[in-house]
A and B are shown apart, each in its own frame.
Chain A
Amino acid sequence: MPLASLAAALPYYPVNDYGPAMKGMVIGGLGIVHVFLAQFAIGGGMLLCYFQWLAQTGREPHARRFLDGYFKILVLVSFVTGALTGVAMWFTTIQISARTIGLMVDEFHWIWAIEWCFFSLEIAAGYTFLKWGDRLPDTWRLRLLAAYALASWMSLFWINGILSWQLTPGAWADGAGVWAGLFNPSFWPSLVFRTTVAMALAALAAAVVINTMDVDREARRRLILRAAHLLAPMALMPPLGLWYLAVIPDDSRSWLLGGSIAMTMFVGIAAGASVLVGAYAAIGLLLRRLYINGATATLLLALAFGATAAGEFVREGARKPYTVRDVLYSNSITPDELAGLRARGSVVDDPYPLRDAARYPTAQLQTGAKVFRLQCAVCHTMRGANALVHLAGTWTPEQLRMNIAKLQHTKPFMPPFAGPASEVEAIAQLIQWEVAGAPRAWPDTTGDAAALARIAGWLDEATPAGRPGAGASDHRAGGRP
């Protein structure tokens, strides 16, 4: 049986159920670990170059000892886990949204191949240093470390382009090609921002490591103050943040600045934690030249982790309702496909059966479950996180019908509903059935022509025929002057 998915425009992928968690939480969690380790590795490279220079110019007698210890940690933690979480990121993004990563691969595979070249250089330089570093003259040590640092920063350079493109495709959206997509409007602010984050993380991790070194306190203090120099670029964070906010689409900006409570909270956490780290660095280390003990250093690093985590949630969240701005909705449907799905139905061609089909008393509820799986399950669960029974549990049947038919107006970070009135009715019935405690018997409203006609009217109002996605035009235009 050749699956429809191999031929149809909309590829149907099997959708996995993560229980009470949303898919976004899964990738969010892994993504944070990966980004944290990767940025630590990038900043670590720069820090090592700096310390090598301090050592070979005689400025810092203990620099070299620190360097060799820190490098081993960098290799153990960041090469192993960092490289492997990189593979894990590929696997996870496929699990979360195969169509999104597929689109990104189709568009940017040569960019990723370039990134891979730098990744190879990073590994080669890093391992050469690990193996021979203690038997090499200073010039070659510095060369290897510089190559390592540059290569790891270059992989950030390329990946940052692809990630920022998801939110601000810029001229690419008008057909300007891969380079326009890469050097998109938010490329530079996010690249510089991430670079400052990387340097800060490396400095904080260094403070932790230095505290474990077997040298006297004065020597440790001097080393920590040196490492703290990499915290200085944090001063650039506020203007960089503003620059970033200025180039992202209007609606995304409004989510971050109060429009969505969760998003705004994460922005607050990220900013607050960064301010704390920055303030400590500025007052304690750079101005008053204080010592920073192991516990404080670990606390600051944990704060920085919190800021990174919140920042990644913001980055993921700000894109809603798209995974690729204007091109692909979060539920893997494209604006161009809306009209066709409205006419034909979104789940009639879905080759994958329901795993729990027997649970549903009517065929209509089964359709509803398939619609939920295809269109809503990326962001919602029925009863767990962001649960529909909680969000819409008190609504009347008519409210449910209207708000789902006009989904992109109900909450602007939801995509438009991509199916005919009968599918809206099916999922509205499903929600009511779930709210009622999933009883064995349930009326089938498939024949309720009047209700379907009202829904069709709302669907047309929300998404005028012939202009797919036009109902969302207020934010489609945003960010592209």
Chain B
Amino acid sequence: MTPPDGTAVYLVLYVATWLVHVALIGHVLTGTAWLAVRAALGKDDDALAATFRDRLPFMLGAAITAGVAPLLFVQVLYQERFYTANLLLSHRWMAVVPALIVGFYALYAAKTARVAAWPARWRAAVPGVATACFVFVAYSWTENHLLTLRPDRWATMYGEGAVVHVEAQLVPRVAMWLGLALPVGATIAAWAVRDDAGALRQLRAAALAGLAVAVAAGGVMVASWEPATAPRRGVAGVMLWGALGPALVLAVLWAVLPRARRRRLTLGAASFAALVVLVHVALFREAYRWDALAAARPRVAAAGGMAAFFAVFVANAAVIAWLIRGARRALRPAP
């Protein structure tokens, strides 16, 4: 499976930036759902909930910013398919934007003193709405992604004026992403509360349940692949099942994490295992649509600016690191 001419660099950048995107999205989804559930139980006054409330708006901003990069590269790699799916879903697809705006402001609202003073049920509604918005967005991306791979359906769908695309693997695939969000999000969140065994135990429940859902949903998804889809399923399946190993390691590490003696090390290992799982699913996604990838269009192949991009990327990353480190050092203690 060598990439078609001129696509390798875009594929690498696409996969790398998409990984960052889904990792951050996992954190946002986990945190938002967490706040909703804990508030409904009247138990959203602990340190973990406070951490989520505090950082979720920023995390969503970061997740969206990270999503803009693969959004650019997907247009280089799968341009006609991506545009066609967008156009076919039309208003349905555009509904992603208001959903994100509502979700974003709900996360800000959840931080305010006013909402904190509300009774539990109303307090839960705010992150609850945000969760619904984000689940809708995850569903939309999945639906759009699957539609890009079904040119056999395009003309009929257009003719019928349908604004949703349904196929057997859609629901299990969404469930797989949502399930996976929990262990990934919990692992990121665990760094903030790594000294708090109680919080870690709570996160553990979410992480293990999410993993179980993801594995089960992945199995159902593979079982429901339709004959018309991806000729390369063999490799794609291997990639996906290859994620089982690191997923098992991740489960074991999470099982022991709350009472691990060397917690930093255990958490580091769990983070690495989560990363390997994500790499596997990212490669699965590309393998599954391998036949949809064509050689780079002439204009793409001839486009200039790559060296400038890498230079700016390194320079800006250095500036960001310098700013954050410097500011952190200069920080006065909180009043």
Contacts and interface: CB of A to CB of B under 8 A. Distances in A.
Contact of B316 (A76, A117, A132): A117
Interface in A360-396: none
B1 interface: no
B100 interface: yes
B94 A106 contact: no
Interface residues of B, number: 65
B97 A107 contact: no
Contacts of B87: 13-16, 94-95, 98
Interface stretch (A82-90, A276-284, A413-421): A82-90
Interface in B11-65: 13, 58, 61-62, 64-65
Contacts of B335: 135
A108 interface: yes
Contact of A110 (B308, B317, B320): B308
Given A87-B64, A140-B326, A143-B323, A80 B108 contact: yes
Contact of B108 (A76, A102, A136): A76
A84 B13 CA distance: 22
Interface string A2-46: 110110000101111000000000000000000000000000000
B94 to A, nearest CB: 6
Contact of A105 (B67, B69, B76, B317): B76
B303 A108 contact: yes
Interface stretch (B150-158, B196-204, B214-222): B150-158
Contact of A135 (B64, B154, B334): B334
Interface string B69-89: 101110110011001101110
A127 B94 contact: no
Interface string B82-118: 0110111010011011001100110010000000000
Residue of B80, B159, B313, B316 with most chain A CB atoms under a 10 A cut-off:
B316
Contacts of B13: 113
B304 A110 contact: yes
Contacts of A287: none
B104 A14 contact: no
Contacts of A117: 309, 312-313, 316-317
A94 B84 CA distance: 9
B108 A109 contact: no
B309 A110 contact: yes
Contact of B303 (A81, A83, A109, A127): A109
Nearest to A180: B304
B320 A121 contact: yes
Nearest to A178: B304
A76 B304 CA distance: 36
A135 B332 contact: yes
Contacts of A137: 330, 332
B12 to A, nearest CB: 13
Interface stretch (A52-60, A233-241, A347-355): A347-355
* Secondary structure of the A contact surface, majority rule: helix
A59 to B, nearest CB: 23
Interface in A48-96: 76, 79-81, 83-88, 90-92, 94-95
B324 interface: yes
A338 to B, nearest CB: 20
Contacts of B152: 1
Size category of the A interface is: 35 or more
Given A84-B101, A117-B316, A91 B94 contact: yes
A111 B312 CA distance: 10
A121 B61 contact: no
A147 B105 CA distance: 25
A197 to B, nearest CB: 24
Given A105-B72, A351-B154, A352-B158, A94 B305 contact: no
A452 to B, nearest CB: 29
B105 A107 contact: no
A6 B155 contact: no
Given A5-B80, A109-B303, A110-B304, A140 B330 contact: yes
B68 interface: yes
Contacts of B67: 87
B331 interface: yes
B299 interface: yes
A121 B319 contact: yes
B48 to A, nearest CB: 19
A16 to B, nearest CB: 5
A147 B151 CA distance: 46
A416 B326 CA distance: 59
A410 interface: no
Given A11-B80, A95-B86, A117-B316, A88 B97 contact: yes
A124 B309 contact: no
Contacts of B166: none
Nearest to A80: B104
Contacts of B313: 113, 117
Contacts of A116: 65, 68-69, 72
A111 B300 CA distance: 12
Which are the 4 A-B pairs with shortest beta-carbon distances?
Answer: A110-B305, A98-B83, A178-B304, A106-B299
Interface of B: 13, 58, 61-62, 64-65, 67-69, 71-73, 75-76, 79-80, 83-84, 86-88, 90, 93-94, 96-97, 100-101, 104-105, 108, 151-152, 154-155, 158-161, 297, 299-300, 303-306, 308-309, 312-313, 316-317, 319-320, 323-324, 326-328, 330-335
Given A114-B308, A132-B328, 14 more contacts: A13-B80, A76-B108, A80-B105, A95-B86, A106-B299, A109-B75, A110-B305, A116-B72, A118-B312, A124-B320, A125-B323, A139-B330, A178-B305, A179-B304
21 contacts: A1-B151, A3-B154, A5-B84, A11-B80, A14-B87, A14-B158, A80-B108, A84-B104, A85-B97, A87-B71, A91-B94, A95-B90, A106-B76, A112-B72, A114-B309, A117-B317, A121-B320, A131-B58, A136-B327, A144-B327, A352-B158
